[in-house]
Amino acid sequence: MVNHAHAPSLLVGVNTPLDAQNLSDLEKRHLPVITGPQSVKKDEFFDVQVVVGTSLAHPSDCGHFIMTIELYADDTFLARVDLTPGSTAPRLTLRIRLRDPARELVAYCACNVHGRWMGSKEIAVEP
Q: Give the domains, in start order, of the chain with CATH numbers.
A: 2-126 (2.60.40.730)
| 34-80: pLDDT as tens digits | 999 999 999 999 999 999 999 899 999 999 999 999 999 999 999 99
Contact 91, 81 (CB under 8 A): no
Amino acid at residue number 61: D
The model's pLDDT over 81-102, given as tens digits with 9 standing for 90+, comes to 999 999 999 999 999 999 999 9
Per-residue confidence (pLDDT) for residue 18, from 0 to 100 = 87
Contacts of residue 35, defined as CB under 8 A and 6 or more positions apart, other chains included, come to 48, 49, 51, 121
Q: Is the pLDDT of residue 8 over 60?
A: yes
Interior angle at CA 26, CA 2 and CA 11, nearest 5 = 40
pLDDT given at position 9: 78
- Predicted local confidence at residue 111, as pLDDT: 97
Q: Give residue 92's identity as a one-letter amino acid code.
A: L
Separation of alpha carbons 88 and 105, rounded Å: 23
Confidence of residue 10 (pLDDT cuts 50, 70, 90): confident
